Amino acid sequence: MADMANQTKLRRAEKIVPPNVLKKKVGSGGFDKKKIEKAQELIEHNEIDFTPVALDLLEELNGIIQDINSGKLEGERAIEKLFFPAMQLRAQGGMFQYPLVSKICDVLINFMETVQAPDSDVMEIVSAHHRTLLAVLSKDMKGKNFSGGAGGDLCKALSDACNRYYKKHTETEKA
């Protein structure tokens, strides 16, 4: 059976690792344990509202989806454009206590790394991810307890849709 884990990556979502300016300033020898604990505390209890940032990224994703569906954006360039908002949401979701957003975007990014072109089936799956992310934000599904339950069910449903795509397209290629 075709599934996402066994798909060949046709491209890689590029991670750019910036120079570690902080390490250059601090030097070697590590950090003071109390400062690390304070930084962790700030990350875990930040008061920044991620929703407007995420909604802007989802609006950008929706615009790209519309451009692809209308034919304004095609092929590899279309897939490249889809990566940016998805990768931003994946990276920022965990930092702002929305790990489910990160998990959903991880499924989307892994899927986009394997597809040949943004055909109608691919775009249907991308749109399903978009709708799911909107629902997660509107229901304020944040916190660390979304690996199972409703969050786990959402991720599984999206992964299952990707796997159905692979199965359909594997069978089509064999015919």
Of 124, 122, 118, 130, residue with least CA distance to 154: 130
- Judged against a pLDDT cut of 60, whether residue 7 lies above it is answered with yes
Is residue 5, in this structure, part of any structural domain at all?
no
- pLDDT tens figures, 148-164: 677 888 899 999 999 99
pLDDT at 142: 79
- pLDDT tens figures, 100-143: 999 999 999 999 999 999 999 999 999 999 999 999 999 988 76
Is residue 154, in this structure, part of any structural domain at all?
yes
pLDDT at 174: 62
| 0.85 surpassed by pTM | no
Is residue 41, in this structure, part of any structural domain at all?
no
- The CATH number linked to 79 is 1.20.120.160
User: How many domains would you assign to the chain?
Assistant: 1
Is residue 135, in this structure, part of any structural domain at all?
yes
Is residue 133, in this structure, part of any structural domain at all?
yes
**If you average pLDDT over residues 1-24, what whole number do you get?**
67
Q: Which residue has the higher pLDDT, 33 or 59?
A: 59
Confidence tier at 32 by pLDDT (50, 70, 90):
confident
Look up the domain containing 153 and give its range.
49-174
- pLDDT tens figures, 46-88: 778 899 999 999 999 999 999 999 999 999 999 999 999 999 9
